Each structure stands twice: as C-alpha cells, then as structure tokens.
C-alpha cells in the first residue's frame, strides 16, 4: 500500500480490451421513460430467483434488468416493456429484450444487466461487459413485439414468448403469486478458479455467508481459532485517526463514532465513506487489528461488497510496523472501477518470485512482466499480480454477491485464493478448509522468499483511501486499467481526481465494504 507513481505502469499492464464508460445521472422516478441511454451491459444468471417484476426467468430468456431509477420491487410500471439494446460501436448488432428485473448494483442508472442468452446474442460472454445504447421500443409493453400464449393456473400464470431477436430460442417466464424482498444475479464473469474439491452448487444467502463455523480440525490440520462476524469483527480492530498516506485525500476517522462502520440488517459489517458533498478531506476508515500475525495462519475473508467508484482505493492487507522490512501482503486491492483484483507481497532485500512460481500461474499474471523482485526499495509493483477473473473486484464482484478470498501464511510460503459466491469449495462452506485441494491464484514459495525472515508481526488492515498515488495521479486519466475500460477522467468529466473526490460526495452513496465474516485458522 505504500506506493509510488509506478502504479501508472500497473494500470497499463493490467488493462483489458473491454472499454466502457460511466456517467453519473441524477436520481429519477422509476416511472420515467428514457428516449435513449448510453451505458454498460453486464450479464447475469437467473438462479431460479424471483425478479423485481415478480416473475421467475430462465437464462435462455431474452430479458433485461434496469436500474432502480426505472424498476423497483415497489414500482413496476416499466415491467414487461420491450427495450432495444444495441452495441455502441456497432449499432447494427441489436436485440429486443423484455424488462423483468431491477439492477440495484449496476452503478450508473444507464447500466443494465442482460440474461446470458441476450448478452450472447450481442457478443461472446468472455467480453465480460459491453458498451451499449438502449431505449424503450416505442414506449410499448413487451407483448406488442412478441407472439404470446397465455395459460392460467391457480398459483401462477405462465407466458411463453418467442423472441424476435432470436427466433430459435423459446423463453418461458413464470408469474408467481408471492413476492420476495430481492433478486440476486451473477454478473460479468465468475472466477476462473477450479478446485479438486467439490465446489458448492448453490449460491449462499446474503445473511448465511460462504464459510461454515465448524471447530473440527480439517484433514489438512486447520482448526478455526477466531471467527469474526458482526460486532465481534468490528471489536477485533481499532481505528487509525489521521489524514491518509500515499497522497490520498481521505481523512481516517473513528468508524463507530462517525457512523461509517455499522451492522446492516443481516449483521454484515458495513464500512462506508462520508457523503457530504464538499469537504476539505473526505472522511473514510482505516481499521487495524489488535492482534499481529507471524507464519502459521489461514485466513478466509467472506466479503459481499467492495467499494467501487471513481476515486476509491479499497484494500484488505497485512503489514509490519517497519515497512517494508517487516513485509506486506495485499489480499484485496484495486481502485476506481477496476474489475480485476490485485494481489502482491512487498519486502526488503532478498525476496523474489521463483521460476516455478511464475511458471505455475494460470489465474493471474504479473502486473509488470519480468518484475519478480519483491524488494519494495527497488520496485513497488514487484511480485504484484492481476487476477484474470473480471468479477474478482469492484462492481462485477458485488453483482456476483461477492465471494471468498483466502490467504495461507505459513513457513512454507504464502498462497492466495479466490472464488465468487456459488463457486466456493464445499470444504470451506462446511467449515473444514483443506487448502491442499484448492487451486491457488499464486504461491510465493519459501525457497525464494522466506516468510520467517521477511514477514514479521503483521497487522491486518481494512481501509479505503481516496485518490492518491494509485486511484488518482496518472491512473485517473488512464484507460483500459484493471478491466475498467474508460478512465475516471472521462467517466466523471473531471480531469482532477482530488477535485472530484472532495466536491462530489454523492458519488459515494452506497459505496462501501460489506463483510459477512473473517475466519482465522491455525494448525
């Protein structure tokens, strides 16, 4: 986290080809009809879950979820209307889709999520996100452009529709007589991680979490020592109270007394950002564990949401008091609208990534090719990796109902792992983790970086810096960084990161960490 302007190279090196733009819109009534909107299209799985329009849809349906400016569970005026979605760069590629859902996590009000079938009609799913324009088709209901056959039953009504955009695909939507509080969808892409352990086949509930709390020792010898949920998680940390480092414009405050750290209705820990419109420094939170750690631990971080907005620099990391000689481990890190998580280690002299470690990378790549020296005195990007998964960070991560990050910190090395919700191995869900059966994002071997020598008395830190040497500076104007696409300078229309952050507090409404839990194991 103690970084330099070398992160300009980081952003360029971790870029992808997808390009999309965000523009902040003022809040509107959900009854409002848009003539034309320009935004981002994600894709989502239906998971047999009721939508905001009160129906059950399938992945083969040609459907769309609009922002809560247009559809909510309480206001359904736009439900079942037809929307035409076109690729911004190739308007000839266009489909008609039916509004069936709200997309409360899409960010900008112009952003949408499409069913897998609808997204696939426009581009390959591997595109992750698409730049699109969309509009209501003559402000008409969806039934005016589709052949409809209706049959009624006492409990539900089934409408079978054949999409004009894809006449070979039959889409069935079932209307239910009951309502539920929310619908979930899995967005852009899920983790590329596979595991020899059986993966969980069903997504965890928002309140239930992805990690079990069994105190039975796993076959790998790990026993749960400290489960941190709800108030216990908050009490495990103290707050740094001071202006941010790394040239950030955050002002770290006591999270409890400021109201920025609290429990939501599901007992998830929310770590927010102040939303006062104009400030000298913007209040944020940096939480530091009251316990320090040396090799011999396994950490599981069950996170539901990560801050995602221009100017944000959220991280979950470990560091010693004498940086970098005492070491640093970055488990979760990114900026702005990044969609790819960054993992890294930093140390003093004598710590590198071995050739075997580099050759084993299948889920991530070096931020700077060839930069495998972890000595932070030489390079602040050394040993840093960008995950391949475009739902490992930011909005896509949030829309996938979060996931689990794991850190195994032992004398034999440092290993990190990641899964989106719904792909978490069963041994984690049952509370008996066996890392030997998992596929690591990266394994920093003790042969070339001895944890006992380079990582001492590490504090666990959760913080959201704002701007600074990573989220601000040259990165602010850099396109195609970390899966983001358009730069924040373009997205916000402001060329100065600090100016935007300090004068646009409304941009950070509902931008926060949400922790289901942190689980600490020992052998």
Q: Which region holds residue 230: left if phi is over 0, alpha if psi is between -120 and 50, else beta? A: left
Nearest residue to 98 via CA among 128, 131, 53, 150: 53
Handedness of CA 227, 204, 409, 247 (dihedral sign): negative
**How far apart (Å, rounded) are the C-alpha atoms in residues 97 and 334?**
33
Residues 6 or more apart in contact with residue 23 via CB below 8 angstroms = 38, 39, 108, 110, 491, 493
The DSSP call for residue 356 is H
How confident is the model at residue 124, as a pLDDT?
84
How confident is the model at residue 1, as a pLDDT?
59
The DSSP call for residue 7 is H
Torsion of Cα atoms, 514 then 217 then 295 then 297, to 10°: 0
Strand order in the sheet with 170-176: 55-56, 170-176, 156-162, 147-152
Indicate the SS3 state at residue 101.
Answer: strand
- Decide: 267 and 209 in contact? Cβ < 8 Å: no
Q: Where are the beta strands (DSSP E) in 16-165?
A: 37-44, 55-56, 63-66, 81-87, 94-102, 112-115, 130-141, 147-152, 156-162
Class of the 37-136 domain?
mainly beta
Torsion of Cα atoms, 22 then 26 then 31 then 35, to 10°: -50
How confident is the model at residue 138, as a pLDDT?
66
Q: Mind listing the pLDDT tens digit for each residue in 294-324?
A: 999 999 999 999 999 999 999 999 999 999 9
- Decide: 35 and 133 in contact? Cβ < 8 Å: no
- Decide: 468 and 501 in contact? Cβ < 8 Å: no
Q: CA end-to-end span of the chain, whole Å?
A: 29
- Decide: 413 and 444 in contact? Cβ < 8 Å: yes
Burial label for 156, CB within 10 Å (0-12, 13-18, 19+), is middle
**How far apart (Å, rounded) are the C-alpha atoms in residues 102 and 523?**
45
Integer CA distances (angstroms), 89 to 18, 27, 96, 129, in order: 12, 27, 17, 13
**How far apart (Å, rounded) are the C-alpha atoms in residues 417 and 419?**
7
359 half-sphere exposure, CB direction, 13 A CA radius: 3
Residue 239's H or E segment, with its range, is: strand 237-239
Class of the 223-522 domain?
mainly beta
- The parts of the chain modelled with pLDDT lower than 70 are 1-35, 47-48, 138-207
pTM of the model: 0.68
Nearest residue to 479 via CA among 1, 11, 6: 11
Domain ranges, ordered by start, for the chain: 37-136, 223-522
Question: Facing residues of 223 across strands?
Answer: 522
Q: Mind listing the pLDDT tens digit for each residue in 143-162?
A: 333 322 223 333 333 333 33
Q: Where are the beta strands (DSSP E) in 334-425?
A: 342-346, 364-366, 385-387, 403-410, 413-420
Integer CA distances (angstroms), 105 to 68, 183, 375, in order: 9, 11, 38
**How far apart (Å, rounded) are the C-alpha atoms in residues 126 and 118?**
14
Nearest residue to 293 via CA among 269, 317, 261: 317
Burial label for 147, CB within 10 Å (0-12, 13-18, 19+), is exposed
Nearest residue to 171 via CA among 183, 180, 158, 181: 158
Radius of gyration of the chain (CA): 23
Q: Which region holds residue 125: left if phi is over 0, alpha if psi is between -120 and 50, else beta? A: alpha
């Amino acid at each position: 986290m103690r970084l330099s302007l070398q992160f300009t190279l980081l952003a360029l090196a971790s870029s992808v080809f997808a390009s999309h733009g965000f523009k902040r819109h003022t809040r509107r009534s959900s009854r409002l009809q848009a003539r034309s909107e320009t935004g981002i299209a994600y894709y989502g799985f239906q998971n047999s879950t009721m939508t905001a329009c009160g129906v059950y849809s399938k992945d083969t349906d040609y459907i769309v979820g609009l922002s809560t400016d247009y559809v909510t569970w309480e206001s359904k005026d736009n439900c079942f209307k037809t929307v035409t979605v076109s690729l911004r760069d190739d308007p000839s590629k266009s489909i008609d889709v039916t509004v069936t859902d709200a997309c409360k996590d899409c960010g900008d009000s112009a952003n949408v999520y499409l069913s897998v079938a609808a997204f696939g009609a426009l581009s390959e799913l591997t595109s992750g996100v698409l730049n699109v324009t969309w509009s209501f088709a003559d402000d008409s209901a969806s039934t005016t452009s589709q052949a409809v056959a209706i049959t009624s039953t006492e409990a539900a009504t089934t409408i079978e529709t054949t999409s004009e955009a894809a006449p070979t695909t039959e889409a069935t939507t079932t209307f239910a007589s009951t309502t539920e509080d929310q619908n979930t969808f899995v967005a852009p892409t899920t983790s590329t991680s596979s595991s020899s352990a059986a993966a969980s086949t069903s997504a965890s509930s928002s309140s239930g979490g992805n990690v079990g709390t069994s105190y039975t020792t796993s076959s790998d010898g790990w026993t749960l020592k400290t489960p941190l949920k709800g108030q216990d998680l908050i009490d495990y940390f103290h707050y740094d109270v001071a202006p941010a480092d790394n040239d950030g414009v955050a002002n770290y405050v006591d999270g409890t007394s400021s109201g920025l750290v609290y429990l939501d209705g599901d007992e998830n820990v929310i770590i927010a950002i102040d939303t006062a419109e104009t400030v000298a420094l913007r209040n944020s939170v940096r939480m530091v564990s009251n316990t320090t750690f040396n090799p011999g631990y396994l950490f599981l971080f069950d996170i539901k949401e990560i801050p995602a907005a221009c100017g944000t620099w959220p991280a979950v990391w470990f560091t010693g008091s004498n940086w970098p000689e005492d070491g640093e481990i970055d488990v979760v890190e990114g900026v702005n609208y990044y969609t790819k998580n960054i993992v890294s280690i930093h140390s003093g002299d004598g710590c590198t990534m071995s050739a075997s470690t580099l050759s084993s990378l299948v889920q991530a790549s070096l931020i700077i090719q060839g930069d495998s020296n972890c000595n932070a005195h030489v390079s602040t990007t050394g040993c840093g990796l960008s995950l391949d998964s475009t739902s490992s960070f930011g909005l896509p991560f949030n829309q996938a109902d979060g996931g689990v990050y794991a850190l195994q910190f032992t004398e034999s090395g440092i290993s990190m792992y990641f899964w989106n919700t719904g792909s978490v191995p069963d041994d984690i869900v049952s509370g008996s983790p066996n890392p030997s059966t998992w596929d690591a994002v990266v394994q920093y071997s003790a042969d070339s970086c001895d944890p006992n020598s380079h990582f001492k008395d590490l504090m666990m830190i959760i913080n959201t810096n704002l701007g600074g040497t990573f989220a601000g500076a040259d990165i602010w104007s850099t396109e195609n960084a970390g899966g983001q696409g358009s730069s924040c300078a373009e997205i916000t229309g402001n060329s100065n990161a600090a100016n935007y952050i300090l004068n646009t507090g409304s941009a950070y409404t509902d931008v926060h960490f949400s922790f289901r839990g942190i689980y600490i194991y020992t052998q």
